[in-house]
Structure 1
Amino acid sequence: MAEPAPHATKPRFQNRFKPSVVKELMRKVMIDKLDGQEYHSENTPSWSREISDDIRNQLKELDFDRYKYCVQVIIGEQKGEGIRFGFRALWDADTDDWAQEIYMNESLFCVAVVFGTYFYS
């Protein structure tokens, strides 16, 4: 009986999470969903969910082998005020990475963050 091939402990370079590629993907999803929209608080939960689902589904089509994703989307009303938020995580600095994109129009803002963590088996 043949032994299963051992898994590499690190992803190959071409299969690593690429923040620039993910950032472009997020930008396109946010523009498609929010361009020309006006802020209405009753719409933001569904928009946030749809944007995060679209980003996650498109990430699966990229060739980032064995990565798990956490997608967070925040939508708020554009009133000229600032916003601060933070994230904490434990991860492997050699393999894990993240990307962020911001969309704004006269009425609303949207911040999307994707964390890509490599799944060791």
Structure 2
Amino acid sequence: MENSVKKSLIGRRGSMFDASNVFLNRPGSSVCTFAEDPSSELFTTKGQPVKFQNSYKMEPDQRFETGRVETIAKQILTDHLEDIQYNANDCKHQCKVIADALKTEVKAMGYHRHKIIVLVNIGQIKDQGVRVGSRCLWDDKRDNWAGASFANSTLWATATIYAIYHE
């Protein structure tokens, strides 16, 4: 009986956890092990923002002031587009530049608990009509928006800035 038990153990396939199995890491194997020192760069949080716990604050510290934001938006549109003639490639780049400038200026106003979303549209004036619209689901008490427009002899532009309150 002892011989039959030894024969069955010899012919038996080894476990993947068996340390004596030398074929564990053969090419094409799906077994992967990874060990890393906790002091290595993978475990440090350099350059990553610190996440804070929720404060469950339901009202913003500062209300979104549409009048101030509209004034800033009109000024930025005028500064960037006053002397420009319409060119599709240049205007595509200008949309991004203006949107970034608007977002930077509005965030500098101190709306820390608002998500700031900026949409900029630029089009050519060629005796046509244009309607720009957007829809959002939001809270009327805490969320708001501001808009501004600009036109010269060859182009028109609109900028819409949304401030959505979030914790």
TM-score (norm 1): 0.88
Counterpart in the other structure of 2:97 = 50
Residue 79, structure 1, aligned to residue 130, structure 2: no
Match of 2:141 among 94, 107, 118: 94
Cα offset for 1:42? 1.4
| Consecutive unaligned residues in structure 1, runs of 5 or more | none
Corresponding residue for 1:68?
A: 115
- The reply to whether residue 39 of structure 1 matches residue 86 of structure 2 is yes
Percent identity over paired residues? 27
> Which structure is larger by alpha-carbon Rg, 1 or 2?
2
| Distance (Å, rounded) in 2 between the aligned partners of 1:57 and 1:51 | 10
| Contact in 1 for aligned 2:95/2:121 (Cα 8 Å) | yes
Is contact 1:100–1:113 with CA below 8 Å preserved after alignment? yes
Alpha-carbon deviation of 1:100? 0.7
Alpha-carbon separation, structure 1, partners of 2:135 and 2:107: 24
Matched position secondary structure for 1:68: strand
Aligned residue type for 1:95: R
Q: The residue matched to 1:45 in structure 2 has which SS?
A: helix
Distance in 1 between the 2:159 and 2:80 partners?
Answer: 13
Structure 2 alignment gaps of length 5 or more: 1-52
Distance 1:73 1:65 in 2: 22
| Cα RMSD after superposing both structures | 1.6
Q: How many residues align?
A: 115
Runs of 4+ displaced beyond 3 Å:
none
Q: 1:24 aligns with which of 71, 74, 98?
A: 71
8 Å contact kept, 2:122–2:155: yes
Residue equivalent to 2:58: 9
- SS of the aligned residue for 2:88 comes to coil
Task: Tell me by how many angstroms 1:8 deviates.
Answer: 3.0
Structure 1 residue corresponding to 2:161, chosen from 99, 114, 119:
114
- Residues 8-67 of structure 1: CA deviation (Å, up to 9, x unaligned): 31113xx11111111111111111100111001111110000000000011111022301
Report which of the two has the higher share of strand: 1
Contact 2:107 2:116 in 1 (8 A): no
